[in-house]
């Protein structure tokens, strides 16, 4: 926050940083009407875009320090991704804001009906550590487009990215409308104590429940972008060369620390061995014989998560490593790893892995894969590889998940016209593209009736012929 000098005092003072004070400042801005004009919204979106362009080097360095993220990977997944969201929003915002007409039934004529998009007010965005730039700024695009003010709470785990956002955002966005609040559990708890007009949370289900419980105290609507175990189903008809490359790429991007990363593979046992052999080849072609030396492979975010991953891989029933398995705690390096012979009841199959370890389970046929998926929590993403169109169609229609990619991984989130969100344990609500705008606005119904005609039949007393007429009309 910018320091201000009180002329009656000799010391420099700063605005009260408490959540209540920050929220009060943002509410005053919203109540003033400043955020409603479309040109103000566009100006803020352009400012956010300039932040990403002019501060690209600083943000990429923060990502490297937090996650060991390769520069090009950081550019693609965090910088370019958010810039694409901004560009799509600027391209369509006029049309999204235009009132839409609704048909008025003949029995209720004369009159006109329209749907207006109203901003919600002051919103709270709580982000995770795995994509610490993308996953706070992409929702912020929707909040800005909707005409809201917003507090952004980055993850303290990605401390360098959090610090960079705290420095940069006030330089490029209206500081009376948008604020970055840093900190850990204590600060997040204090923020959740306040009454917001919407809370957008990305993270795990445990904290998601805390967020939802806090929101319930004020009947605040929430968007929960959670995670879960996103499966890959590999049918016997799959193009194994392509499947191996695309599964390996989606799994080992960001060292597996992606909420929609392939979490495990259900593979037809007739193609299990060749699929794993091709995946090993794909990993070598991506990262060379020693991924630890590759400039394109990331690191585990901290020691706690490194230890968690090691415990899962070493746990009973995890299976044997087909490739990878090496690790170095001093570097937080965990090699791209695939496991074979994983027991479905093993600890590694009971929680989201969120790291570069990929268990595989051989199944007898496509029905067995579908049955396995349907017996567990609904995933955030599901991937199916099959050249047989009937097989992929059956998976899409017989399973429930937040989203599906056929013969690909991750790429569905890059299509602005596809809402991104979970179902059941993997979350509620959606965003990206127009869905972000809709998340942060209210569909307000407006009916206008003329006053020239005001027939008395509409009013009591409803006796005699008046009552009979109304029964026929309605």
Active site residues: 225, 259
Number of neighbouring beta carbons within 10 Å of residue 53: 10
Q: How far are the Cα atoms of 128, 151, 223, 227, 334 from residue 158, in angstroms, in the given order?
A: 8, 18, 22, 19, 18
Within 13 Å, how many C-alpha atoms sit on residue 122's CB side?
A: 24
Do the beta carbons of residue 459 and residue 446 sit within 8 Å? Answer: no
- Paired residues of 443 in beta bridges: 117
3-state secondary structure of 290: coil
Do the beta carbons of residue 345 and residue 296 sit within 8 Å? Answer: no
Query: Tokens at residue 357, please?
Result: 């370890």
What is the spatial distance between Cα 267 and Cα 385, in angstroms, rounded to a whole number? 10
State the pairing for strand pair 381-385/403-406: parallel
Residue 185, C-beta contacts closer than 8 angstroms, at least 6 positions apart? none
Q: Residue 59: which of 85, 79, 81, 83 has the closest Cα?
A: 79
Read off φ and ψ for residue 433, nearest 5 degrees. Answer: 60, -140
Phi-psi region of 271 (alpha: psi -120 to 50; beta: other; left: phi over 0): alpha
Do the beta carbons of residue 224 and residue 256 sit within 8 Å? Answer: no
Do the beta carbons of residue 270 and residue 126 sit within 8 Å? Answer: no
Peptide bond into 110 cis (omega under 30): yes
What is the spatial distance between Cα 63 and Cα 55, in angstroms, rounded to a whole number? 12
Do the beta carbons of residue 409 and residue 244 sit within 8 Å? Answer: no
For 62-73, what is the HEC assignment?
HHHHHHCCCHHH
3-state secondary structure of 381: strand
Helices 81-97 and 38-54 sit at what angle, rounded to 10 degrees?
170
Helix (H) or strand (E) holding 427: strand 427-428
Burial (CB count <10 Å: 0-12, 13-18, 19+), residue 380: buried
């Amino acid at each position: 926050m910018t320091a201000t000098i009180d002329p009656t005092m000799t010391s420099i003072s700063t605005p009260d940083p408490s959540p209540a004070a920050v929220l009060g400042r943002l509410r005053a801005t919203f109540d003033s009407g400043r955020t409603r004009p479309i040109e103000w919204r566009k100006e803020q979106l352009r400012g956010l875009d300039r932040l990403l362009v002019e501060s690209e080097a600083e943000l990429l360095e923060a990502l490297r320090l937090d996650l060991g993220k390769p520069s090009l990977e950081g550019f693609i997944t965090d910088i370019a991704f958010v810039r694409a969201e901004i560009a799509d929003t600027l391209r369509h915002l006029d049309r999204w804001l235009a009132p839409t007409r609704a048909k008025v039934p003949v029995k209720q004529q004369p009159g006109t009906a329209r749907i207006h998009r109203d901003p919600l007010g002051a919103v709270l965005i709580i982000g995770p550590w795995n994509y610490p730039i993308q996953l706070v700024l992409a929702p912020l695009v929707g909040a800005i487009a909707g005409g809201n003010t917003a507090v952004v709470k980055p993850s303290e785990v990605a401390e360098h990215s959090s610090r960079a956002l705290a420095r940069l955002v006030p330089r490029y966005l209206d500081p009376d409308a948008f604020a970055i609040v840093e900190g850990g559990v204590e600060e997040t708890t204090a923020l959740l104590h306040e009454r917001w007009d919407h809370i957008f949370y990305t993270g795990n289900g445990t904290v998601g429940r805390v967020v939802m419980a806090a929101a319930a105290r004020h009947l605040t609507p929430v968007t929960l972008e959670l995670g879960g175990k996103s499966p890959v189903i590999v049918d016997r008809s799959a193009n194994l060369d392509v499947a191996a490359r695309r599964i390996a790429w989606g799994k080992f991007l960001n060292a597996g620390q992606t909420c929609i990363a392939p979490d495990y593979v259900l593979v037809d046992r007739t193609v299990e061995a060749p699929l794993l052999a091709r995946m090993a080849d794909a990993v070598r072609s991506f990262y060379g014989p020693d991924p630890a030396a590759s400039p394109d492979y990331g690191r585990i975010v901290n020691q706690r998560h490194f230890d968690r991953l090691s415990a899962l891989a070493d746990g009973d029933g995890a299976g044997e490593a087909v490739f990878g398995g090496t690790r170095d705690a001093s570097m937080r390096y965990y090699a791209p790893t695939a496991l074979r012979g994983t027991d479905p009841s093993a600890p590694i199959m009971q929680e989201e892995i969120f790291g570069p370890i990929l268990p595989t389970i051989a199944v007898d046929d496509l029905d067995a894969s579908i049955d396995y998926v349907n017996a567990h929590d609904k995933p955030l993403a599901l991937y199916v590889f099959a050249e047989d169109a009937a097989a992929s169609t059956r998976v899409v229609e017989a399973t429930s998940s937040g989203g599906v990619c056929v013969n690909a991984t991750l790429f569905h989130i890059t299509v602005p016209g596809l809402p991104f969100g979970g179902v059941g344990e993997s979350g509620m609500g959606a965003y990206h593209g127009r869905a972000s705008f809709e998340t942060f606005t209210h569909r307000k119904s407006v009916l206008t009736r003329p006053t020239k005609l005001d027939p008395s039949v509409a009013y009591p007393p409803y006796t005699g012929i008046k009552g009979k007429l109304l029964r026929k009309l309605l």
